[in-house]
Amino acid sequence: MVILIILIIGLAMISPYIRLNPAQSRVMLDPSFPLHYTVLVIHIFLAFIALVLGPFQFMRGIRQRHIALHRATGRVYLSCVLLSGTASIIVGLYTADFTRQTAFLMLAVLWLLSAIKAYIAIRQRRINEHFTWMVRNYALTLVAVVARIIVPLSIVVQLLRGQISLPINITEVLNKTLGTGIWLAIVLNLVLAEWTILRRIQKKTTERD
C-alpha cells in the first residue's frame, strides 16, 4: 500500500515533464540559464527512479535470497541519487525564493552526503552502517513525496484560520508554502529515520539477550 502511494505521488510529480515541454514546467525557469530545463528534467526523472527502487532495498527477502539483484538495484539507486542530487544543486542555485532555495540546497547536500556514506560503508563491508545510511538516504528521497502531502494540508489549515482568502491564487500560495513544506518534510523524515534506526538497534539487542 505504501509503495503504491509513493508510486502514485511520484507519477504525479513527473507527469508535467513527460512530454519534455518547458512550457509545462512547474518550476520557474531562468532564461539566463539555457540548460535549466534539461538539468531539472534529469533531476526529476532520476529522483523518480530512486523513489521507486528505494523500498526494494529494504525488503529482507530480496537482501537475503537474491543478493545479486539487491546489489544491482542498489548500484542503480545510488547512481540515480548521486546524479540527481548533483543536478538538484544546480537547480537550487537558480531558485528565486530564498526559503525554497535553502531547502533545496540543504536537501541536496544531505542526500548526496548520505549516499556517499552508504556507498563507502558497503565497500568496506560495514553492513549495519550501510543499512543505517540507506535508511537516512531514502528518508531524504521521500522528502518530495511528504512535502506534497504537507503543503495541501498547510493550505487547508491556512484557509480555516483565515490566513488565505477565496478565491485562492494557487501559484502564489504554493510559492509561499512550498519552501516551508520542504523544510518540515526534511525534519520529519529524518526524525522518523532515526527512530527506525534506533528501533532496529533495540530489536537486535533484545534478540541477543
Residue-range definition of the domain harbouring residue 168:
2-19+31-208
User: For residue 54, is it within any domain?
Assistant: yes
Query: Residue 65: left if φ>0, alpha if ψ -120 to 50, beta else—which one?
Result: alpha
Residue 25 resides in a domain: no
**pLDDT confidence tier of residue 165, bands split at 50, 70 and 90:** low
- pLDDT, tens digit (0-9, with 9 covering 90-100), for 144-164: 999 988 888 887 777 777 766
Mean pLDDT value across residues 66-83: 94
User: Model confidence at 173, in pLDDT bands (50, 70, 90)?
Assistant: low
Give me the number of domains the chain comprises: 1
In a domain, residue 24? The reply is no
The dihedral through the CA atoms of 51, 53, 57, 61 has a sign that is positive
The structure's pTM equals 0.91
